[in-house]
Amino acid sequence: MKLSDLKKGERGKIVALNLKGALKKRFQEMGILPGEEVLVERVAPLGDPVEIYIKGYHLSLRMEEAEGIEVEVLK
Amino acid sequence: MREIKIAVVGNPNTGKSTLINALAKARLQVGNWPGVTVEKKEATLKVGDYTLAFVDLPGAYSLSPFSLEEKIARDYLFTERPDVILCVVDSTNLERNLYFVIQLMELEIPLVLALNLFDEAQKLGYQIDIPLLERLLGVKAIPTIATRGEGIEELKSAIVEVYLQNKIPNRLSYGEDLEEAIDRVRLQLLTLNPQLEASLLYKGLLIKLLEGDQELISRLNLKFNPEEIKKYLQHIEKVHGEDIESYLTDLRYGLATGVVRQVLHKPEIRKITFTERVDRVLLNRYLGIPIFLLMMWLLFKVAFDVANPYVDFVDETINGPIMKWANVGLEFLEAPEWLNSLLLHGILAGVGIVFSFLPVIGVIMLLITFLESSGYMARAAFLMDRLMRSFGVQGKSFIPMLLGFGCNVPSVYATRVLEQERERKLTIFLVPFMSCGARLPVYVVFVSAFFVEASGTILFSLYVLGIGTAILLGIFLHKLIYRGKSSPFIMELPPYRLPTFRDLRVHTWMKLRHFVIKAGTWILAINVVIWVLLNLPWKPNNPEESYLGKTGALLAPIFKPLGFGDWASTASLLAGSLAKEVVVSTMAQIYASEEERAQEETLNLIEDLKGIVFNFGAKTKEAVYNLISTMGIATLQVEEPEEAKGLIVKLQEHFTPLSALSFMIFVLLYWPCFVYGIAVRAELGSFKLYLQAILIHTLVAWLVSLLFYQVGRILGF
């Protein structure tokens, strides 16, 4: 499952990052790492970007990049 | 007296600038970084026998830069090697902040951590074992609350202490394989660069070589063998099944997480924070955008309603008492007539018009600074990203665009936050369509001459026209020239915080100073040149015979189809191509020389001073009244200014309402001002984009005005 598939309020655990180069590195540096728990806080009114809660802070990213983040849903 | 060079670093949103403002008090020096015009803030303080020289580096999440600002921070740390690094850490978000701290430790420079926002961490129920943190990392850590100035003194003594002890942070182990590779790179460098001191081969640098950060390596002038380094690299990547960069990030985060686990105790259940509750409303699916629009409307309402009475005040003071006493002074000194005319009509009147709009620009900048430091601007970018992407820019372009309504020059600098060159250029290119404060004098004079009843609607429409043009041109350029995907949008949404007065003052001034400097230098110079051109050959019988008049007449046919092809408006537009503020002051100079104003006024200094104070009080009352009296923007109802009557009468002779509108549209859209050009050159390295903007904007302006005027004529206006 992808991070972009999670709905508002759903939580997931990051499994893998299917991204490349500088972008991948930046995501990792912002704490988006395998094993990390992530909560989808909300989707922007126009449908993009999304706001997530990870490692104790709030981060926004676009759907397009969220598609590159593999997660498993946590109940 | 020894000087200690201290670099102040930290993640964005940690309160770093509040801390540096608290450290520096009023002694903050603002300059520019060499090569790029990113503001470089410095402050020096005396502590005992030492001078602490602070350099404030731009906020960064990592030493592997993603934006221009982060690049500046990295370059400084690697090439300048400060004596001490002061890292501002957000105590409520230790883990991600420590990731950066671990990278800083690799530089092997004495390190002090300011555990800032300590009160917020306490409120969340966090307990931090500071002595353990210090021991594990080999640094000094001081809890601080920058907004209240707490911990500042302790910070200063900690800096001197680590400096005196030359306290190098602990060298954390990065695992056998990596440590071995690092040792090999060190050995190789020592063999190939025998002149190098071993102490200069710190871990951070060796890792950069392994990572292959070409840009940085080439600046350090080191001899090394890339083939061999590649071999070490391949070994590590094979053993761990990851590329070196991912491996390093994992490793550093692992260390940061390990430290946090030992030093931080936080409550099991996470409380819903104030910020989260506020965002439920402000970023609400249905309410988010309406509230955003309301905020923007409020911003302009407050800016115009509160500032406009003060605009009148500045204007009345300059054109009244100051002008009068300057005249008296010049007569007393028996100044020649030409000097009197140059100083009063050339300089004082011209610069006065520009300065009188300082209140509007100042209030806009103040409100934007407030929204920025409170954390709302990040939300605005979040809300607007989707929309702005459709015309080739992105959410983070919103801030420079909004700043543009105050002054376009700081907008250019504010585009630094954009990671991608293409988006940055496009944003810079579109910013001049945001109608800046400097264009207001033109609108105000014309609106007073022709549209007193519909003034609000006309002004509002002009602003909308500017935004609309930017959107259309943005879509067009995005499809044709600045093609490509929008850069990724990764942005932290920081907690809402109430900015301190000191921060507001300092940061508003940073934005405003461009405009003030411009008014005091360029605008002044341009006004002098115009005065000269208008009076040469010496004492023309008729201003039309002056050099300015002749040039205007020569170019006037270009503007005939737009409805205002007379020499005077052409000459004003020519002058205004350097800075739009000058359009009105040029017209004023031209018409003033057609008809010298004769005034008989009484001279009484005390009365005049009393008058100024009384007037200021009256304007303040008006500002308050404007703000509360109506939901609409009260001061857009322009009243006819007394002192501009001469000019207004002249305008009514030379323009029709339709051609006046066409002229205002042209002024709105054409030729971005010269100081904007200087900023573009400073940021992008050449005048190329400015020249493109001059051509395209002027062409767009001409076409839009033409269309407007001709259609208007056909419709019978």
Are residues B152 and B43 part of one domain?
Answer: yes
pLDDT digits (tens, 9 = 90+) for B467-489: 999 999 999 888 887 777 777 88
Is B286 part of any domain? no
B93, B386, B492: residue with CB nearest A46? B386
Q: Do A44 and B93 touch (CB under 8 A)?
A: no
Are residues B674 and B587 part of one domain?
Answer: yes
Residue B711 burial by Cβ neighbours in a 10 Å radius (0-12, 13-18, 19+): exposed
Task: Quote the number of domains for chain B.
Answer: 3
CATH code assigned at B48: 3.40.50.300
- pLDDT reported for residue B645: 65
Q: Is B265 helix (H, G, I), strand (E, B) or coil?
A: strand
Nearest-by-CA chain B residue for A57: B93
B250, B276, B488: residue with CB nearest A33? B250
pLDDT at B37 over 50: no
Closest of B580, B520, B516, B510 to residue B368, by C-alpha: B510
Are residues B180 and B158 part of one domain?
Answer: no
Least confident of B25-39, B72-86, B241-255: B25-39
Q: Do A56 and B66 touch (CB under 8 A)?
A: no
Q: Do A49 and B245 touch (CB under 8 A)?
A: no
Average pLDDT (B263-280) is 89
Are residues B100 and B238 part of one domain?
Answer: no
Are residues B318 and B256 part of one domain?
Answer: no
pLDDT digits (tens, 9 = 90+) for B633-661: 655 545 545 556 677 888 888 899 999 99
Are residues B188 and B115 part of one domain?
Answer: no
B99, B249, B492: residue with CB nearest A58? B492
Query: CA-CA distance, B571 to B559, in Å (whole number)?
Result: 11
Percent of residues, chain B, with pLDDT higher than 70: 94
Q: Do B285 and A48 touch (CB under 8 A)?
A: no
**Last residue of one domain, picked from the residues B265, B281, B310:** B265
Q: Do A33 and B488 touch (CB under 8 A)?
A: no
Is B406 part of any domain? yes
**Last residue of one domain, picked from the residues B165, B199, B231:** B165
Cβ count near B97 (within 10 Å)? 25
CB pairs under 8 A between A and B: 105
- pLDDT reported for residue B287: 94
Helix (H) or strand (E) holding B529: helix B524-535
Q: Do A60 and B284 touch (CB under 8 A)?
A: no
- pLDDT reported for residue B269: 79
- pLDDT reported for residue B644: 60
B245, B489, B490: residue with CB nearest A30? B490
Is B11 part of any domain? yes
Cβ count near A13 (within 10 Å)? 14
Q: Do A44 and B382 touch (CB under 8 A)?
A: yes
Cβ neighbours of residue B199 closer than 8 Å, sequence gap 6 or more: B108
Average pLDDT (B671-685) is 85
Are residues B298 and B261 part of one domain?
Answer: no
Taking each helix axis from N to C terminus, what angle separates B440-450 and B657-669, rounded to the nearest 10 degrees?
A: 170
- Nearest Cα of chain B lies from the Cα of A44 at a distance, in angstroms, of 6
Residues of A in contact with B491 (CB under 8 A): 59-61
B62, B279, B387: residue with CB nearest A46? B387
Residues of A in contact with B395 (CB under 8 A): 49
Is B553 part of any domain? yes
Are residues B375 and B325 part of one domain?
Answer: yes
Query: CA-CA distance, B694 to B701, in Å (whole number)?
Result: 10
Split at pLDDT 50, 70, 90, the class of B284 is: very high
Q: Give contacts of B 610-669 with A, CB under 8 A.
A: none
**A61 near B CB under 8 A:** yes
Residues of A in contact with B96 (CB under 8 A): 30-31, 55-57
Are residues B200 and B142 part of one domain?
Answer: no
Query: CA-CA distance, B275 to A20, in Å (whole number)?
Result: 33
Nearest-by-CA chain B residue for A29: B249
Q: Do A44 and B249 touch (CB under 8 A)?
A: no
- Nearest Cα of chain A lies from the Cα of B91 at a distance, in angstroms, of 11
Are residues B190 and B74 part of one domain?
Answer: no
Split at pLDDT 50, 70, 90, the class of B597 is: very low
Are residues B552 and B529 part of one domain?
Answer: yes
Residues of A in contact with B62 (CB under 8 A): 26, 29
Cβ neighbours of residue B388 closer than 8 Å, sequence gap 6 or more: B394, B395, B397, B398
**Last residue of one domain, picked from the residues B132, B165, B198:** B165
Q: Do A28 and B249 touch (CB under 8 A)?
A: yes
- Cα–Cα distance list, B14 to B22, B76, B88, B118, B373 (Å): 14, 20, 6, 11, 11
Is B278 part of any domain? no
**Residue A1 vs residue B612, higher pLDDT:** A1
Domains, chain A, ranges and CATH? 3-55 (2.30.30.90)
Sign of CA dihedral B655, B660, B666, B672: positive
Split at pLDDT 50, 70, 90, the class of B31 is: low
Most confident residue range from B84-93, B623-632, B676-685: B84-93
- Nearest Cα of chain B lies from the Cα of A34 at a distance, in angstroms, of 9
Average pLDDT (B338-352) is 78
**B215 near A CB under 8 A:** no
* The pairing of beta strand B39-47 with beta strand B29-32: antiparallel
Is B665 part of any domain? yes
Sign of CA dihedral B215, B218, B223, B227: positive
Query: CA-CA distance, B613 to B241, in Å (whole number)?
Result: 75
Are residues B151 and B90 part of one domain?
Answer: yes
Q: Do B385 and A44 touch (CB under 8 A)?
A: yes
pLDDT at B267 over 60: yes
Domain that holds residue B249: 176-265
Is B241 part of any domain? yes
Residue B466 tokens, joined: 């500017």
**Residue B246 vs residue B141, higher pLDDT:** B141
Most confident residue range from A1-10, B334-343, B403-412: A1-10
- pLDDT reported for residue A22: 85
Select from B69, B284, B386, B391 the residue whose CB has the most chain A CBs within 10 Å, as the one to mutate to test that interface: B386
Q: Is B169 helix (H, G, I), strand (E, B) or coil?
A: coil
Q: Do B245 and A25 touch (CB under 8 A)?
A: yes
Residues of B in contact with A23 (CB under 8 A): 488
On whether the CB atoms of residues B358 and B516 are closer than 8 A, the answer is: yes
- pLDDT reported for residue A72: 94
